[in-house]
Amino acid sequence: MKYLKTTLASATLDIVEFKTNKMKKGTHKTRCLKYLQDHKSITSLQAIQDLGNTRLAQTILTLKRDGHSIHTETIEVSNRWGGTAHVAKYTLIEKGLKDKVRDIFNYGKGL
């Protein structure tokens, strides 16, 4: 564990930084891509908790513009009051799978 001592006005505060398995280096884009490669999908809550990214939709758009295939689906989740909410779930489509899907949908065209 790391300890950081900070002086605020006349008070001295000891802040403890706990070791976590969260990614700490890189940009939002690189961390998000690595997360998608490792976990296959991500939601905004996971991005906030695990990556510190509060603008996941923008990061996903940037990854798509860079050529990555990412599928977006709306899922229903429980909220803190016992109701439901709809959120986006982003899934990385692997290059081999993308080609297979394209081949399936193009199969028989032009015959």
Chunked mean pLDDT (size 10), the chain, 111 residues: 48 42 74 95 95 96 95 95 96 76 62 45
Q: What is the pLDDT of residue 12?
A: 46
Q: What is the pLDDT of residue 94?
A: 83
Alpha carbon of 6 to those of 10, 15, 21, 24: distances in Å? 11, 7, 25, 21
All structural domains of the chain: 23-106 (1.10.10)
pTM metric for this prediction = 0.65
Q: What is the pLDDT of residue 90?
A: 97
Strands 70-78 and 41-43: unpaired
Q: What is the pLDDT of residue 62?
A: 96
